[in-house]
């Protein structure tokens, strides 16, 4: 079973690591990795392959920057050529990026089954490009791996019930495996002179928060006001850095320490030892919960609704947290094994997938 995996952005590298390693341990599978280059900065790309022990991708398309339409179109054409050459039995995509949409579309137009990891997530905000991507890919997919019962229900509400499997969360697999390694290898806190529990960790990169000088000022000021006097340590995403330069404003200011993007092990260390996390990222909302750190999401909605209902996360438009409980639906750290077993069962019940 030849599976082409399409990745392109930091969260996808993290999710791909446990599943790719599990596929590599099964003789039934051969994985062909395609890196679109959506995150082209070395600190957002190369370092993750190195730290996560992922083999170098078979293809690196180098497609990053530009408008959503230009990026997605260029990826679509390039991925299609690879799929025609490689003739995989299925294409595996992750999450909700332009790389996800391009990989899903290229496969579907060639009648290649699509496997979508993190299916069924919904923010119900169609102004977000990510929302458009995840909805379209779900409707193109043959196998849909959902992290929670909420995501399963979201698909059911849209008439999608075939091929849907609730499997837990791959990022929990990765966090369990890599947190002890980060504790051994990361010297970030020492290098930055940070005391555990005496600072806040933050990320900022969504279009809504970087589209204007006012948007950036609003987000940064909010974090400073809510940090309870603690310094906000902010690894600056390339998009955010370029936006700040374009609008002529500085992110570095009293109460905020702007630093270069971090590798995953350093990011684990930063988040795990923070007193609070501020983010507009989907993944870091969950990672904060995995580390037992309260989070404030710098958005008016979230696709990870269970982090809010369980009291570990709140939207910045609210002032209080719900009572705190555990989130059992993220699984036991064996989601990758469940996914591989499900794919194998699907092959056995659909032998025509091996005819390519």
Catalytic residue among 35, 39, 116, 205: 205
Catalytic residue check, 205: yes
Q: What is the 3-state secondary structure (H, E, C) of the chain?
A: CEEEEEECCHHHHHHHHHHHHHHHCCCCCEEEEEECCCCCCHHHCHHHHHHCCCCCCCEECCCCCCCHHHHHHHHHHHHHHHHHHHCCCEEEEECCCHHHHHHHHHHHHCCCCEEEECCCCCCCCCCCHHHHHHHHHHHHCCEEEECCHHHHHHHHHCCCCCCEEECCCHHHHHHHHHHHHHHHHCCHHHHHCCCCCCEEEECCCCHHHHCCHHHHHHHHHHHHHHCCCCEEEEECCHHHHHHHHHHCCCCCECCEEEECCCCHHHHHHHHHCCCEEEECCHHHHHHHHHCCCCEEECCCCCCCHHHHHCCCEEECCCCCCCCCCCCHHHCCCCHHHHHHHHHHHHHHHCHHHHHC
Distance between CA atoms of 261 and 152, rounded to whole angstroms?
34
Query: CB count, 10 Å around CB of 349?
Result: 8
Question: Catalytic positions, please?
Answer: 205
């Amino acid at each position: 079973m030849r599976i082409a995996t399409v990745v392109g952005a930091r969260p996808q590298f993290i999710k791909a690591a446990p599943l790719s390693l599990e596929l590599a341990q099964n003789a039934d599978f051969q994985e062909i990795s395609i890196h679109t280059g959506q995150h082209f900065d070395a600190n957002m790309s190369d370092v993750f392959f190195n730290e996560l022990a992922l083999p170098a991708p078979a293809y690196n398309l180098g497609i990053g920057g530009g408008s959503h339409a230009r990026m997605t179109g260029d990826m679509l054409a390039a991925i299609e050529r690879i799929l025609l050459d490689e003739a995989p039995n299925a294409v595996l995509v992750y999450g909700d990026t332009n790389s996800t949409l391009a990989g899903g579309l290229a496969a579907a137009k060639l009648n290649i089954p699509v496997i979508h990891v993190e299916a069924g997530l919904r923010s119900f905000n169609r102004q977000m490009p990510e929302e458009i991507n995840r909805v379209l890919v779900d409707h193109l997919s043959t196998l849909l791996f959902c992290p929670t019962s909420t995501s399963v229900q979201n698909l059911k509400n849209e008439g999608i019930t075939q091929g849907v499997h609730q499997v837990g969360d791959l990022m929990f697999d990765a966090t369990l495996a890599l947190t002890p390694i980060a504790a051994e290898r990361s010297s970030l806190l020492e290098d930055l002179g940070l005391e555990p529990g005496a600072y806040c960790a933050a990320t900022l990169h969504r279009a809504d928060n970087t589209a204007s000088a006012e948007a950036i000022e609003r987000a940064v000021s909010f974090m400073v006001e809510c940090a309870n006097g603690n310094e906000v340590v902010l690894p600056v995403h390339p998009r955010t850095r370029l936006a700040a330069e374009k609008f002529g404003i500085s992110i570095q200011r009293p109460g905020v320490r702007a630093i270069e993007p971090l590798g995953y092990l350093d990011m684990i260390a930063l988040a795990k030892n923070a007193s609070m996390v501020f983010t507009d990222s989907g993944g870091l909302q969950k990672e904060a919960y995995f580390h037992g750190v309260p989070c404030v999401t710098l958005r008016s909605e979230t696709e990870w609704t269970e982090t809010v209902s369980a009291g570990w996360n709140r939207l910045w438009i609210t002032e209080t947290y719900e009572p705190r409980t555990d989130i059992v639906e993220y699984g036991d750290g064996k989601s990758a094994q469940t996914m591989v077993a499900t794919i194998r069962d699907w092959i056995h019940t659909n032998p025509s997938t091996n005819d390519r």
